Structures are given as structure tokens and as C-alpha cells.
Structure 1
Amino acid sequence: MSGPASPLPLLIDGHLDLAWNAARGRDLGLDLAALRAGDPVAGETATVTFGELRAAGTRVCFGTLFALPRSGESPEGYTDHAGARAQALAQLDQYRRWEDAGQVRLLRSGSEVAAHLAAPAGPLGVVLLMEGADPIRDARDLPFWVGAGVRVIGPAWGRTRYAGGTDAPGPLTDAGRELVTAMRELGVTLDASHLDDAAFWEALDLGPQVIATHANSRALVPGNRQLSDGMVRAVAGAGGVVGLVFLSRFIRRGWEAGQPRAALEELAAHARHLAALVGWEHVGLGTDLDGGFGQEKAPAGVDRYRDVPLLLERLPPEHRADVAGGNWGRWLTRYL
């Protein structure tokens, strides 16, 4: 039987592309077997449904608004601000339709998170996170998105109009500096996960609240997609949490598709490294499962989302509940 037999701690996931997957044609209300049987997404075995999240004990997640830019692999992606905005607005509408159907509850404040977590049961709580800021016209457009419920923004994915990002070195642009300044003034949190080093340090100098929803350790896996030790210390120094990513190539140095999947013990090594730098209170989950990859690239043993808590068995018993959700829960109730 898949999954741990012991009672599950409350789980909070720092990064799930729920509406983006729905836009790809996946019905997350289906049983996982039914979703897999008719999955419109080729080459990625799905792991996430609302039922799987419940089975894992997930009460809250950061749910993304993710606009995909056009590339050779994604010819349907956006090429300008209008296209990015259209994708994000469609995903926002999807979350609202799920809320109307009782599948999710959108959470906009720390008090709402606290009340949601205190309830004995209920739908999945979702905090809206914009991953890549190209849907935002400019800093003057930020109040619209805040009014729509967005509480966390990552200015970059790859390079955007606002910042250098993953595999795209560069600082904040002029528009990026204006956006991060506006985020600070409106209390919107910066997600540093995809920022290039130059953009990261420049953004932190502007003083926003900061977290890293889904990033592992650069000391174990090189590249600007991961956080250096200095970055980890900076996020923790601002009171933030770093969410661990369940993607094999972010877990094992040099991993490539087709190789044996990275072990959960290797992901636990990232957790221990982060904790050695800043303490266990700054380590959480940011699985990114079904975020453009499926079971084939998840850690060995994580064949469906309900297997996520198996990671906790590799961590010190006294810190498992905090990594599972306690650390994110404290951050959300204090800073959201």
C-alpha cells in the first residue's frame, strides 16, 4: 500500500500549479486513476488531484497564477503582456469557480489562514501566488491583483520584463524596481525562488517581505535555480521559509530524465543542509508536483501526491510536523 501508515501531520505546500494544470485540460476533481486514464497531458504521469491532496493531509497551499511564455517547446505561450495577463486572468477565474463549487477556499489574510487551519475540516485553502510577473502591466497595476487576492509574487521565472531569472542572468529592470517597491508598500510578499542572484540581492535591498516557495540548496545542486547559502540566510533573516522541491534534477546533481529517480533521502539532505544554515523553523515543503513534470521525475517512492509525507520519515522526529506545515502556518498567520 502506498503512503505512510501513521497519522499524518497537517501539511502546507508552498507551491502547486493547480489552475495551470486545469488549463491544460486536467480535471483535478477526478480520482487519480481516472485522471491518468484520460490525461490530456502526454509524457507526464499526473500525481495531483484534490483527493490526493486530502489524502496527504494538505490543508493549505500556495496556488499559482502561472503564465507560460512562448518557446520552442511551448508555441502556445505568451509573447507580450496582454497574452500573459489573459492566461493569469483565466487561472484566477478557475480558482474562483473551484471556490464556488466548494473545492477550495481562497485565503487573503493571516486571520483567514488561522481560522481555516483551526477548523476540523473543509476545502483546500489556497493563497494566490503569481509565478512570473509579466501578467502585471506595471507597478500601477499591482492594486488590481492585490484586490483579486494575490498575496505573493515572484517577479521572474525565466527572464521577464521585471527581472533576470532561471538560466537568464540579470538584475531587476527599472520596472522591476518599481514593482518590488510597490509590493513592499502594499504588503505583497516577494517569492525569491526563480530570481537570478543579481535580481535577488537588489530586490532584498528594497526591503519587501520575502520567502522562497520552492527552491533547494545550491550547495548540493549547482545553478541559479537553487539558493546559495547566502540567499538562504537572507530569506531566513527576513523571517521567511524555504520550500523543498520534489523534482529529481533539483535534488541530485547532474540528474537527467531516464536515470533512476532521486531518493527521498537525497531530498532530506537538502532539508538538513538548510536547517544547518538557518534552523528547522525556516524549512517547509514546496513540492511543485505536476509543475511541468510528473511521476517520472519525482523522487523515488513518490508515485502520487499522497506519498509526499514519506519525506518526513527521513527527518528528525521533533521537526517533522513543522516542516510538513507548521512553519508555513506560522509564517502565513504572521505575515500574510
Structure 2
Amino acid sequence: MTTPWTGLLIDGHLDLAFNAGMGRDLTGTVMQLRAADPVPGQVATVTFPELREAGLRVCLGTLFAAPSTPSMPAGYTDARGAAAQALAQLDQYHRWQDAGLIRLLSSGADVTTHLSDPAAPLGVVLLMEGADPLHTPDDLARWVERGVRIIGPAWGATRYAGGTDAPGPLTSTGRELVGAMRDLKVTLDASHLDDASFWDAAEIGPRMIASHSNARALVPGNRHLTDDMARAIAATGGVIGLVYLSRFLRASVPDSERVPVEALAEHARHYAGLVGWERVALGTDMDGGFGAEKTPLGIESYRDVPDVLNLLPVEARSGVAGGNWARWLEATL
């Protein structure tokens, strides 16, 4: 039995409000959620009590508007529909805050104060995953006023950028948006950006992170970062979060196969060799379209997330667990 992690834990990517929008009640235990889970085929791992049990203090919580696809026909088809989804999720975060379940954080000072209070609820920094909820780049300031501090322009393809399995550069509107993000000091999340869009964005010069991206040197595909992309993110002072999805950890792994936790450590060590341990962090994406049936072996619920730390150099563990995100958030938000 491994010793439970008792240090600071911060996660770079959790789809909390999206899960609530699918009917999941995150206020009870994981076992209670599993017993009445409205989402078929997934073994839930995330609830607020579970996150507290794991010691999670802060996360980047997403506003994720789901586009219409054959598997999700009720998704959005235009900017109005995308905005409606994002606003509903924003309202969910505020209702959770009103209930004392979370605390929304919008500045580095907020993060510092929050981390000084061990009794505080989960701190949430808002990250918009996919920029389609912005009708135009002129909407950016309004979303910043609502608390959004990080935006990933793509998921699949959006009106702004090429994305996962959807190659393409930034559109002209995307270039305008990334320029506005740079000027307003809104951080760009490079996760899901296609290569052409990534390098277009890097040339414009915003702050960059990858909230949940593994290494393409170990797993092919434009969902993952090349070594040069990782270096470019680090050059802006950014941090890279590791995703806990098995098929993102070992090449050619079937979607139904779970890999050893060591596979996570391999990606961490790869990034550390490129950009240093101070740029490596967690971005689990737990319950982001998958559950424990697809996490690494031994990660049966969120409280098991820190187990990977035992496979890392002792001197790197506290930074990967949360210190690297804390430093970046306090300095950048």
C-alpha cells in the first residue's frame, strides 16, 4: 500500500460543469454517483467529496460547449448554441459557489489567499475549452469579466482554429481572437490545437499552457504535443498537464485496454527532459468523456491520482503534484 499524498494537489483540467449538465450529481460520494449514474458506459471517478479526499485544492474547471456530432446530436450547431451551453455551465459554477462547494478564483492574489486556507472548498479557475461560445473576438472582454482566464481556441475544428483530428490553421477570426487574448493577457490553452493553428498562435505571442496534453514522441497524433511545441509553451513560462487516458499514454493501445501507471511517468520524464520538471504538472481530464474503465491500472477513483508521484524523482513530486501550477497561477492569473 502506498503512502497517501498529503502535499498540495492541483489539476489543470476537470470538466465539472459539463458532467453536471449530463445529469451527474457531484455532491455525493463516487459510489453514490456510480449507483445512479445517468452516463452509460463510464465508471465515474469525480465528485466533490472525492476531490477533497484526494487533497485537491485547485483545478482549472472548464466551460466546454459540445458541438453536434453523430454521437451527440443535441450539441451546438452555431455560436448562439455554443454560448448557451457555456453560460449554463457558468451558472452551474456560481450555484456551486453559492452552496459553498467551490470558490471561483480570478487572480493570482485569489489563488495565494485560497491556498493559505486549508479549510477552503475547491478553488476553480475558469478555462473555456473551444472558443465557439464567443460570437466574435469582441466578446472576449465580456467573458473575461465573467471570470474566464484561459481559452483553448479548439477542441475539434472551431470557427477559430483547426483542432484534434481536424487539421488546419487559425482562421482569420482566430488570428484576431489570439491577438486579443495576448493584449488582454488571457492565456491560450494549446491542448487540442492542430499543428498549423498552434504555430500560428505561437507567432502571435500569447501566454501559453497545455492544460491536458501528452507527448507525441510517445503517442502519435495531433492531439498530443511535439517536442518543439512543448519547448514553445515552456518558453512563454507555461506548464503542461498530463492526461490520465490510457490510449493517450501508450501507442496503439485499444480504447478498451488500461495501461500501467508507469506510462504516465514515462510522459512526465519525457517532458522533464525537454523543459525541466518545473514545467510538468497534472491535467487529468478525469471523467472528461471517460472514467475508471479507461484510466491507468490502479487509478480506480480520483483519490488514486497522486499514485504516479511515487514513480517520479523525489525532488520533482511536489512540483508535479501542484507546486508548478500554483507558481504559474500566482504569477500569471
The TM-score bracket by the shorter chain reads over 0.9
Instruction: Give the Cα–Cα distance (whole angstroms) in 2 for the partners of residues 110 and 226 of structure 1.
Output: 28
Aligned equivalent of 2:76, options 67, 75, 78: 78
The match for 1:320 among 312, 317, 322 is: 317
Distance in 2 (CA, whole Å) between partners of 1:139 and 1:104 is 29
Structure 1 residue 257, shift from structure 2 partner: 2.3
Distance apart, 1:300 and its partner CA: 0.5
Question: d(CA) in 2 for partners of 1:279 and 1:103?
Answer: 35
Q: Could you tell me which of 280, 293, 296 is aligned with 1:299?
A: 296
Give the Cα–Cα distance (whole angstroms) in 1 for the partners of residues 245 and 302 of structure 2.
13
Q: Structure 1 CA distance, aligned partners of 2:103 and 2:246?
A: 31
Aligned residue type for 2:152: G
Of 169, 172, 175, 1:174 maps to 172
> CA RMSD for the aligned pairs?
0.8
- Counterparts of 1:258 and 1:211 in 2: how far apart (Å)? 29
TM-superposed deviation, 1:118: 1.2
Query: Offset of 1:6 from its aligned partner?
Result: 3.8
CA displacement at 1:7 relative to structure 2: 4.3
Spell out the pairing of 1:55-94 with structure 2 (5 A cutoff).
55-94=53-92
Q: 1:8: how far off?
A: 1.8
> What corresponds to 2:286 in structure 1?
289
Matches within 5 A, 1:226-265: 226-259=224-257, 261-265=258-262
Contact 1:264/1:311, CA 8 A, preserved across alignment: yes
What residue number does 1:266 align with? 263
2:129 & 2:307 partners in 1: Cα distance? 27
Q: Which amino acid aligns with 1:67?
A: A
Q: Which residue of 1 aligns with 2:138?
A: 140
* Structure 1 match to 2:210: 212
- Please report the TM-score for the alignment, with normalisation by the length of structure 2: 0.99
Runs of 4+ in 1 over 4 A off after TM superposition: none
Is it true that 1:331 corresponds to 2:328 in the alignment? yes
Point out where structure 2 has 5 or more consecutive residues left out of the alignment. Answer: none
Conservation of the 8 A alpha-carbon contact between 1:8 and 1:309: no
Which residue pairs with 2:24 in the alignment?
26
Match of 1:95 in 2: 93
The superposition leaves residues 5-31 of structure 1 with CA deviations (integer Å, 9 ceiling, x where unpaired) of 344211000000000000000010011
Task: Find the counterpart in structure 1 of residue 276 from structure 2.
Answer: 279
* CA–CA separation in structure 2 for the residues paired with 1:203 and 1:265: 33
One-letter code aligned to 1:68: A
Q: Give 1:52 shift.
A: 1.0
SS at match of 2:168: strand
Q: Contact between 1:243 and 1:284, CA under 8 Å: does it hold in 2?
A: yes
Q: Which amino acid aligns with 1:321?
A: S
Do the aligned partners of 2:24 and 2:37 also contact (CA within 8 Å) in 1? yes
Work out whether residues 68 and 76 of structure 2, in 8 Å CA contact, stay in contact via their aligned partners in 1: yes
| Paired residue type of 2:123 | G
CA distance in 2, matches of 1:254, 1:90: 37
Q: State the match for 1:111 in structure 2.
A: 109
For structure 1, which runs of at least 5 residues remain unmatched after alignment?
A: none
Q: TM-score, normalised by structure 1?
A: 0.98
Equivalent-residue separation in structure 1 for 2:3 and 2:240 (angstroms): 27
1:55 shift after superposition: 1.1
Q: Deviations over 1:133-174 (max 9, x none)?
A: 000011111111000000000000000000000000000001
1:36 maps to: 34
**What is the CA–CA distance in structure 2 between the aligned matches of 1:212 and 1:134, rounded to whole Å?**
19
Q: Distance in 2 between matches of 1:231 and 1:308?
A: 26
AA aligned to 2:290 is F
Counterpart for residue 194 of structure 1: 192
- After TM superposition, give the deviation of residue 121 of structure 1 in Å: 1.8
Distance 2:65 2:176 in 1: 21
- 1:306 counterpart SS class: helix
Percent identical: 65
Q: Secondary structure at the match of 2:109?
A: helix
| Distance in 1 of aligned mates of 2:196 and 2:29 | 43
Question: Do structure 1's residue 49 and structure 2's residue 47 form an aligned pair?
Answer: yes
Query: What's 1:309 paired with?
Result: 306
8 Å contact from structure 2 (residues 150, 189) kept in 1 = yes
